[in-house]
Amino acid sequence: MQFGIFTVGDVTTDPTTGRTPTEHERIKATVEIAKKAEDIGLDVFATGEHHNPPFIASNPTATLAYVGAKTERIILSTATTLITTTDPVLIAEDYAKLQHLTDGRVDLMMGRGNTGPVYPWFGKDIRQGINLAIENYALLRRLWSEDVVDWSGRFRTPLQGYTSTPRPLDGVAPFVWHGSIRSPEIAEQAAYYGDGFFHNHIFWPASHTESMVRLYRQRFEHYGHGTADQAVVGLGGQFFMRKSSQDAVNEFRPYFDNAPVYGHGPSLEDFTEATPLTVGSPQQVLERTLSFRDYVGDYQRQLFLVDHAGLPLKTVLEQLDLLGEILPTMREEFAKMRKPGVPDAPTHASLVAKAGGATDSTVYAAADSATGSSDRDLDDPEVAKVLEGEL
Amino acid sequence: MTRRIVVVSAGLSVPSSTRLLADMLGEAAVGAIRERGQEADVEVVELRPLAHALADHLLTGFPSGELGAAIEKVRRADGLVVVTPVFSASYSGLFKTFFDVLELGVLDGKPVVVAATAGTVRHSLVLDHALRPLFSYLHAVVVPTGVFAASEDFGAVATDAGTTGLAKRVERAANELAALVAGTTAAPTPVAHRRTVDEEFADPTPFEALLRAASDGPPAF
């Protein structure tokens, strides 16, 4: 089982000091947090993607490539990649490039994004969110699996004889998860392809997470990828811990009360009861996390949100130290409970092995005579007219 | 099969004239269904104790505890009676919030009696300029008779129960609801029943259908 953290990259005022970090501080803090995640023995660092303030999570592959260069082992992932508003052609290129740079330490999680104003900035319509996710992902898969793609569809211009470069490392595309809080269609999509399904889990009651995961597992089996128990499930989680649980509650309460998503709403006590948020001692966080399995079954990936709501970097790093202390026990206990036959989450190495070994997937092409030459072809009479000021 | 009538009341005081009207309508509806030879029961959803949970739902996107149970009652109802006090010339914010957080599709095709209370009869058109459009938008089937009661109507009930205008209107609305709920008048089938998340869980749309639907329609680029 993999453990990790995911960040949304919010730039939020610390409600206890009134101080708001600069974008630069927040971007550098994100890198520190990712390095720390590797240091304490976590397996995954995932970043979100946002294209509006107060976030610094645009251009996720730059962040992941930089973190990749500063780390050795940790898997670089997303939570989530906006499959709706990002051209699948760019996703295919960016993440294949990231695979090569990090020697395969990459997977990604598709999500739709729920920020209405963002869609039109990218020429899209939020009312088409599900349709965009479905058509764009179908194209993305082809771009990775086929060297030359002819394609036409509804949401982007057609492709004729298109080759996405670089080709996926070792001929194997990155593993893909699909994240959705409340859309059964996305669980269905993940099941259809035999991809992973991730439930954010932190904003909604466990009963809802249970329904989404159950649907995914049933449909995974229906589509013949294996038994329901073998489906690849990931969950989010959220905690704040101190050695004494009362200290944890006292320290976290102002962050909770002012948090961008659920602040000024339910009390900390009500929210911790209704959702998987755990505020307390390391032992309480350990026990609560182990209990997630009771309603989703054996699962493959657990990601925690630790760096939001204005928590200062120092506090976040302390949270990771505490997580590091309970991590070995968490691994052991999950492993003990795990039913035989439940697979691990796919990694680049396991996917290469499954494909029968690595293949060089480079598509060689003859030299390109256009790139680097002037677009002002002086032999072209139209261009000549423009240059002479006649048009 | 017992028909379930659910009465949603947004009164704030105890006792409240809104609740009084709600109970009159609920009992009358049950009586009218029984007259048509079917069993019926009535449950009341009081919104006042759900006020905090409704505000939380606006922020978190999910119903906590009792609110979840109230929404479930409405979802399962065969017929609804909804009653609001008039605040600033319309339904109250509490009343509207309850219907704001209902998932689209929950009221599709559901028979509804709209009712309101106020201190003055000059608010009586609130049924037709505020409540009726709201429930039309939600694809409910609103019966022709809406029931409005001002303070003076309740006074009249106390002195001469059987024959006042209010009692007659209650009776008429209840009969119209019963006709739809007990199936003696066919409710119009909604043009397109919108599938709820629970329906997707129970009977998922196969991916091939989702894939076809995704690319239906004119090019969007």
Q: How far is CA A207 from CA A233, A299, A380, B29, B53, in A?
A: 16, 16, 67, 35, 18
Q: Cα–Cα distance between B85 and A164 in angstroms, integer?
A: 62
Reference B8, options B49, B61, B63; nearest CA is B49
CB A144 within 8 A of CB A107: no
The alpha-carbon gap from A69 to the nearest alpha carbon of chain B, in Å, equals 37
Closest alpha carbon within chain A to B60: A262
- Nearest CB to B64; choose among A135, A188, A266: A266
SS3 content of chain A, % helix, strand, coil (to 5): 45, 15, 40
Q: With H, G, I as helix, E, B as strand and everything else as coil, classify residue A70.
A: helix
Q: Cα–Cα distance between B174 and B3 in angstroms, integer?
A: 14
User: Across the interface, do A266 and B215 touch by the CB < 8 Å criterion?
Assistant: no
Task: Kindly list the residues of chain A whose beta carbon comes within 8 Å of any beta carbon in chain B.
Answer: 123-125, 128, 130-132, 134-135, 138, 153-157, 182-185, 187-189, 191-192, 203-205, 208, 211, 214-215, 219, 223, 261-266, 270-271, 274
User: Across the interface, do B204 and A130 touch by the CB < 8 Å criterion?
Assistant: no
All structural domains of chain A with their residue ranges: 2-361
Whether residue B204 lies within 8 A of chain A, CB to CB, comes out as yes
Residues of B (42-101) whose Cβ lies below 8 Å from A: 55-56, 58-62, 64-65
Q: Report residues of chain A scoring pLDDT below 70.
A: 369-378, 387, 390-391
Q: Is A390 exposed, middle or buried (0-12, 13-18, 19+ CB in 10 A)?
A: exposed
pLDDT in tens, A297-335: 999 999 999 999 999 999 999 999 999 999 999 999 999
Q: pLDDT value at position A370? A: 64
Q: Name every chain A residue with its beta carbon within 8 A of the beta carbon of B56.
A: 265-266, 270
Omega of the bond prior to A166 within 30 degrees of 0, cis?
yes
Whether residue B209 lies within 8 A of chain A, CB to CB, comes out as no
Q: Which residues pair with A46 in a beta bridge?
A: A6, A77
Q: pLDDT value at position A84? A: 97
Q: Report residues of chain B scoring pLDDT below 70.
A: 156-164, 184-192
- Nearest CB to A134; choose among B58, B61, B210: B210
Whether residue B221 lies within 8 A of chain A, CB to CB, comes out as yes
Q: What CATH number belongs to B3-189?
A: 3.40.50.360
Omega of the bond prior to A54 within 30 degrees of 0, cis?
yes
Q: Name every chain B residue with its beta carbon within 8 A of the beta carbon of A204.
A: 61-62
Q: Name every chain A residue with its beta carbon within 8 A of the beta carbon of B217.
A: 154
State the pTM of this model. Answer: 0.89
Q: How many CB pairs under 8 A join A and B?
A: 87
Q: What CATH number belongs to A2-361?
A: 3.20.20.30
Which ipTM was obtained for this model? 0.85
